[in-house]
Amino acid sequence: MNIDSVIHNYLLSKESKEELRLLESWKEESKSNLEVLQALENNWNLLDEMKEYRAFDTPKAWEELSSNMVEEKEPKMEGEIKARKETKVFPLWKYAVAASVTLLVGLFVWNSVPSKGVGTASEPVGILTSVDDIITKDLEDGSSVWLNKSSALDISKFSKSNRSIALQAGEAFFQVESDKENPFSVDVSDFHITVVGTAFNVKKADQEVEIYVHEGVVSVSNGKRTVQLRAGDMITGNVDNFALFDKDNDNLVSWKSKKLVFKNTFLPEALKDISRHYGKIVELSPGAATDNCFISTEFRSETLEEVIEELKVLFQIKVSENEERIIITEINC
Amino acid sequence: MCIILVIVDLVEIKSKKGFKQMFDIYYNPLCNFAYSILRNSAKAEDIVQDVLMKIWEKRNDIEFNSNVKTYLFTSVRNKSFEYIRSEKSERAKISDYTLLQSRLGDDKIDKEATIMMMKEELNNSIRHLPPKCRDIFVLSKLQGLTYNEIAELKNISVKTVEAQMSIALRNLREKFKAKLDNEY
């Protein structure tokens, strides 16, 4: 019997018992037979979605594109990223020891967070730690630091002439007093951040760092390359693999400002900010259409329950909730 | 908002020749991907060409690795969404924009890209079938005609349809086998 007609019948689910037996023994003959059959099966199912797959005119497109392509002989030298509000690209920052450094920091922080003494400053000398409360600290140079819950900040080396700090865990917001002679610097994981006078937020989570600039200009470096961030810019990732976003969203520091402000914000975006602020995921079920859902409102001291209540009033939402997340199942915009 | 992914060097796209290789592999699947979002083939091609041109212009700043596929599909997705958002009237037609957003989320884009590349491969395999056999295969699998309907339309017997389908399958089977052999 011809194996192709057996496979054919099998794919159409009309194989006989004898054919199925044949196919089983053919499958066992070799690994490649098995793999070929799997490939055929997968592709067979895929074929149902292929109806609209088409062939665009690739050669013609190449002709159009290549006529606009200029090929210089010399690659451009590395330089400052000047093109604002355009695609910004950084080459790879290689840093082989990143993982081990992060791990060490993690252990250290775990040991340095006091088991009692809720929300008060530092037991180990010069290490500012927070547990259940946000704490603020005025530094001797006139700058201020806000430390989010469960965070640790090393200010042991800090002085007026040596303004250096290290964020060991969690999230901190810095309002920096201008002093051109003595730059203010923050180390976090493998990033080194320097500023003159500005306000910015730094968050360290697991393997990732997030740096968001609220005002002014901030330089971020890994020791090899320096990148300038301006107000509204955010870097997220680790030194090996990170992305720069043109975020311009002060809700990223809502933990410190204690307010979430939405001005005609696309609802799925607003939900991300709400999730971050309350530490619980609020999301839309895939079926909920939010094409025309835009929100303009402000939350200050509201609890998450009150926020959901407001969404109910605004968009007639229905929700289902478990410990980790609140899912919006129905919405009407 | 703009997003930049940083990726490592494997694919050599700095020369025009190397770039063309990438272009030939990805142009059609990317256009099909953009089309699946936009439902407009001219716009789909525009967006893919824009994305590829940007990459060419930035080729000395970007470093690619095996993530080139993810990078390309992510860029085309972002551009397509940007376009949908900017065109209120167009957006109104796409009632399932949110659905698309979640279906093509960052966690799923890889899988979507892989499926699109598989479709491209399958499409090429079908295109290279013997003509008679291809016709019957397309009528059956893509147009959804029954064997009886095909037999009637083509004025051949149902047995012949079955035989041609078997040939098509054998061709595809051999193709996949060759491909699998190459991979190992």
Report the CATH number at residue B134.
1.10.10.10
Residues B113 and B133 in one domain: no
Residues B144 and B115 in one domain: no
Residues B138 and B184 in one domain: yes
Residue contacts between A and B (CB atoms, under 8 Å): 171
> Rounded to whole angstroms, what are the CA distances from B74 to A216, A264, B30, B107, B112?
31, 26, 10, 11, 10
pLDDT digits (tens, 9 = 90+) for A97-106: 222 222 223 2
Residues B120 and B44 in one domain: yes
Residues B121 and B158 in one domain: no
pTM of the model: 0.46
ipTM of the complex: 0.79
Residues B113 and B30 in one domain: yes
- Using the beta-carbon criterion (under 8 Å), do A244 and B96 form an inter-chain contact? no
> Measured between beta carbons, which residues in chain A are less than 8 angstroms from residue B44?
56
- Position of tokens 């055929």? A40
Contacts by residues A295-298 (CB-CB < 8 Å, ≥ 24 positions apart): A295/A262, A295/A264, A295/A265, A295/A267, A295/A270, A296/A262, A296/A263, A296/A264, A296/A265, A297/A262, A298/A259, A298/A260, A298/A261, A298/A262
Residues B16 and B57 in one domain: yes
The structural domain count of chain B equals: 2
Residue ending a domain, among B127, B158, B176, is B127
Q: At B140, list the tokens.
A: 């059956």
Q: Hey, is the C-beta of B141 within 8 angstroms of any chain A C-beta?
A: yes
Task: Report the residue from B6, B141, B176 with minimal CB separation from A39.
Answer: B176
Q: Hey, is the C-beta of A99 within 8 angstroms of any chain B C-beta?
A: no
- The H-or-E segment that residue A178 falls in is none
HSE toward the beta carbon, residue A36, CA cutoff 13 A: 25
Residues B86 and B34 in one domain: yes
> Tell me, what's the pLDDT at B12?
67
- Using the beta-carbon criterion (under 8 Å), do A92 and B16 form an inter-chain contact? no
Q: Are the CB atoms for B150 and B135 separated by under 8 Å? A: no
Q: At A19, list the tokens.
A: 């054919």
> Measured between beta carbons, which residues in chain B are less than 8 angstroms from residue A268?
98, 101
Q: Hey, is the C-beta of B132 within 8 angstroms of any chain A C-beta?
A: no
Q: For residues A15 and A11, what is the distance between their CA atoms, to the nearest angstrom?
A: 8
Residue ending a domain, among B127, B153, B175, is B127
Model confidence at B7: pLDDT above 70: no
Residue of B nearest to A63 (CA): B20
B114-131: average pLDDT:
84
Residues B135 and B100 in one domain: no
Which residues span the domain enclosing B122? 1-127
Residues B23 and B100 in one domain: yes
Q: Are the CB atoms for A241 and B6 separated by under 8 Å? A: yes
Q: Hey, is the C-beta of B78 within 8 angstroms of any chain A C-beta?
A: no
Q: At A67, list the tokens.
A: 């006529």
Residue of A nearest to B30 (CA): A56
- Using the beta-carbon criterion (under 8 Å), do A46 and B61 form an inter-chain contact? no
Q: Hey, is the C-beta of B159 within 8 angstroms of any chain A C-beta?
A: no
Tally of residues, chain A: 333
Residues B154 and B110 in one domain: no
Q: For residues A304 and B174, what is the distance between their CA atoms, to the nearest angstrom?
A: 59
> Measured between beta carbons, which residues in chain A are less than 8 angstroms from residue B173?
4, 7, 36, 40
- Using the beta-carbon criterion (under 8 Å), do A246 and B181 form an inter-chain contact? no
Residue ending a domain, among B108, B127, B146, is B127
What is the separation of C-alpha A263 from the centre of its chain, rounded to a whole number of angstroms?
22
pLDDT digits (tens, 9 = 90+) for B130-183: 888 888 888 888 778 889 999 998 899 999 998 888 888 888 888 777 766 665
pLDDT digits (tens, 9 = 90+) for A263-289: 888 888 899 999 999 989 999 887 777
Residues B7 and B76 in one domain: yes
